[in-house]
Amino acid sequence: MVSLEAGARASENDADEAALAALGYRQELTRSWSGFSNFAISFSMISILSGCFTSFGLGWNNGGSVAIAWGWPMVSILILVIGLCMSELVSAFPTSGGIYWWASKLGGPRAGYYTGWLNMIGLLAVTASVAYGCASFFDTVVGTFSQSWADGYSLTRVFIEFIVILALAATVNIFSSHLLAILNNLSVWWHVAGAAAVVVILLALPDHHASLGAVFTHTVNNTGFFGGSTGGAGFLLFVLPISMILTQYTITGYDASAHLSEETKSASHAAAKGIWRSILYSGIGGWILLLAFLFAVQDENGLTKSNGAIPALLKQSLSPNWTGAVLIISTVGQFFCVFACTTSTSRMMYAFSRDRAIPAAGTLSKLSGKHVPVATVLVTAVISVILTLPALVKVDINGSPTPVAFYAVVSIGVVGLYLSFAIPIFLRWKAGDSFPAGKWTLGSKYKWMAPLAVVEILVTSVIAMFPTAEAGAPWSPDFAWKFVNYTPIVVLGALVLLWAAWHLSVKKWFTGPRTTIDA
């Protein structure tokens, strides 16, 4: 019996290596991840214990309860369509390059070049935002149990905690792939049990709960735009759409299943399922969690004055000890998410450097004795710190600290990642029936799913560049740089640089993915 099982595993490994060789790559990374582990890393990167907690204010300030209660499920369905399109792509091309490789295969070197850089910018921003959010919540947890710590709140202290968290994630990624897989598997159960515990606590302990009418109809405009009005075209077309970023940011990072496909057994099946299942389960679980938040609101005006901060919501509905317990559950989930983000980003950077598409490619594409791309792990941590430096500047809105820089990094992640998803999805739609489908396919459904996915991404990308506070709008008389959503500066600036680099140099030598194995 043992020999039969060993033979089946050997046959499975041979098939995976043969499929990878057909795409031009030698099996260099260790293929030790199960299908569940592959699903787990995407589920961990989505992390409803991270996004739903840290970016709740984006939904509350830009629409209120109505934006969250109705917006989350609607946007989740659209994201699932995007994920299904990507599942078909990873089944056909299960490589660590993932998104970049698909675009190169279907659209040539230029498409691959832009896709790869957008994907890498998005992943770096997501890693930075998750780590900073984790540091903020960790600081709040300590402050919940120590008044002196809370009274001595410091942006510098939070930033140091942010650096320490990134260093821990980098250390685990560098020294133990086995421990990393265990942590990702554990993360799934922590997110399921933790989210369920938070829901039960918020249903059982508050003195009273908001009515159905309040949860599904209450509106808020806490941006300063249009005089705070919650009616009219300005609110509907400018303010309310920004709330979409709550869902779009939380349910992202599921391309991790693609980036880890070279380390996953039966990748053509497992990575495809990892993508769409992580989106589906996170969409359902996240909605239940957010509804629990909304029903637990005791003072809508008080929450609005606190700019929709979850710690403020918890403090008005729970005792200090229970508030601390919920924050601990979230913070641990965010730790898991940071580990997963670092893994996914480093693997994408490794694959991109393997094809000589970024500076210092020779160094970044080297593997350690444990088959880990150490240099890309370290670079991921360093760039994440640089990208988040504006968070050291204090920003108060309505008299309360507001993480404008955090929201900007969130938006950069959304735009970078989703635009990189749109390119191969569009190219797959354009390829039509000539697309070399893998073992998991959409059949003819791609004909309507792919264009719907691309339109949703383009609309969301434009919305992510909107200013999130009136004082951050260039036309405002109270304009100040510290209030600016610097997403357009980073994303559009990066695109201009990429365009210039392509025409001045890159197109002369970059040929897309390079093979590491002879035909």
- Average the pLDDT over 412-431 and give the result: 93
Q: d(Cα 285, Cα 290) in Å, to the nearest integer?
A: 9
What is the model's pLDDT at position 325? 95
Which candidate, 245, 242, 278, 272, places its Cα nearest to that of 258?
A: 272
Render pLDDT for 426-445 as a digit per residue (tens, 0 to 9): 999 999 999 988 889 999 99
| Residue 248 exposed, middle or buried by CB count within 10 Å (0-12, 13-18, 19+) | buried
Token code pair at residue 115: 């896709």
DSSP 8-state secondary structure symbol assigned to residue 33 = B
Token code pair at residue 421: 């998803």
Residue 269 has pLDDT above 70, yes or no: yes
What is the model's pLDDT at position 13? 61
Q: Residue 510's pLDDT band (boundaries 50, 70, 90)?
A: confident
What is the model's pLDDT at position 64? 95
Residue 207 has pLDDT above 50, yes or no: yes
Contact 94, 261 (CB under 8 A): yes
Q: d(Cα 222, Cα 397) in Å, to the nearest integer?
A: 9
Q: d(Cα 9, Cα 296) in Å, to the nearest integer?
A: 50
Domain spans of the chain?
Answer: 33-509
Contact 367, 373 (CB under 8 A): yes
Residue 218 has pLDDT above 60, yes or no: yes
What is the model's pLDDT at position 398? 67
CA atoms within 13 A on the CB side of 150: 12
What is the model's pLDDT at position 383? 93
Question: How many angstroms from the chain centroid is the CA of residue 510?
Answer: 29
Provide the pairing of β-strand 400-401 with 396-397: antiparallel
Dihedral of alpha carbons 319, 320, 325, 327, sign: positive
- Average the pLDDT over 64-92 and give the result: 96
Beta partners for residue 264, in sequence order: 33
Render pLDDT for 136-180 as a digit per residue (tens, 0 to 9): 999 999 988 888 888 888 889 999 999 999 999 999 888 876 777
Backbone angles phi, psi at 437, to 5 degrees: -60, 145
Kind plus residue range of the DSSP H or E element containing 453: helix 446-463
Please spell the DSSP secondary structure of 92-148, one letter per residue.
Answer: H---TTTHHHHHHHHH-HHHHHHHHHHHHHHHHHHHHHHHHHHHHHHHHHHHHH-HH
- Average the pLDDT over 261-288 and give the result: 89
Q: d(Cα 153, Cα 328) in Å, to the nearest integer?
A: 18
Token code pair at residue 228: 């705070």
Q: Residue 311's pLDDT band (boundaries 50, 70, 90)?
A: very high
Is 1.20.1740.10 the CATH number for 33-509?
A: yes
Q: Give per-residue burial for 259-275: e unless 16+ CB within 10 Å, then b.
A: bbbbbbbbbbbbbbbbb
Give residue for tokens 């133990």.
Answer: 176
What is the model's pLDDT at position 32? 66
Which candidate, 485, 469, 488, places its Cα nearest to that of 225?
A: 469
What is the model's pLDDT at position 405? 76
Non-local (6+) Cβ contacts of 364 within 8 A are 349, 350, 353, 358, 373, 375, 376, 379
CA-derived radius of gyration, the chain: 22
Contact 199, 296 (CB under 8 A): no
Render pLDDT for 2-48 as a digit per residue (tens, 0 to 9): 454 444 455 556 677 777 777 767 776 667 677 788 888 788 888 89
What is the model's pLDDT at position 4? 42
Alpha helices, DSSP H only, in 237-319? 244-250, 256-259, 267-296, 300-305, 310-317
Q: d(Cα 368, Cα 362) in Å, to the nearest integer?
A: 13
Residue 318 has pLDDT above 50, yes or no: yes
Instruction: Please calculate the CA angle 324-181-348 and round it to the nearest 5 degrees.
Output: 100
Render pLDDT for 359-413 as a digit per residue (tens, 0 to 9): 888 888 888 777 788 999 999 999 999 989 888 888 776 666 667 778 888 888 8
Q: d(Cα 67, Cα 243) in Å, to the nearest integer?
A: 6
Give residue for tokens 């383009």.
Answer: 458
